[in-house]
Amino acid sequence: MSAPETPDAERTTCSQARAEVRSVLRPACRAMPPAEARRLQEDALLVVSELTANAIRHGGGLTRLFVRVRDGVLLLGVSDRSEEVPCHVPADPARPGGFGWSMVHRLSASVTVEVRPGGKTITAALDGFAPGGTDCSKVGTRERQPLG
């Protein structure tokens, strides 16, 4: 399944990003035990929320969002306009926040950052989306990016 043309990724909110994840995961999660499906979906929603919020807040705006399930792995990709690579920030009780990047790493099997002129793409891979040996490679793909 591929996404129809959608509004500019720049206007994509965290809520819309979570909706994209839900729409891709719905078919895969139907075949899973409910508790496992709920846990995996919650992890995916936390990761995409954090990546999207950071692209909006720190990355100069979201330029692309993709959600794919391939070979039992959920790939969540977020692109923005910043070439700055995120880093782990030591916890500081006097400063709010700073836990998201560590959380993304804890919940993901792998996280890659691809820097290019004018921005970067962060891709988080989450395992476990192949219920009962079902081939999820064709479960779904959704993508938002600027049009034109």
Q: Which domains does the chain have, with CATH numbers?
A: 9-144 (3.30.565.10)
pLDDT in tens, 103-128: 999 999 999 999 999 999 999 999 98
- pTM equals 0.80
Q: For 128-137, what is each residue's pLDDT tens digit?
A: 876 443 333 3
pLDDT digits over 17-30, tens only?
A: 999 999 888 887 88
- Residue-wise pLDDT for 31-88, tens only, equals 788 898 899 999 999 999 999 999 999 999 999 999 988 888 899 999 999 999 998 8
pLDDT range class, residue 10, cuts 50, 70, 90: low
Q: How far apart are CA 22 and CA 119, in angstroms?
A: 26
- pLDDT the model gives residue 31: 78
Q: What's the whole-number average pLDDT of the chain?
A: 81
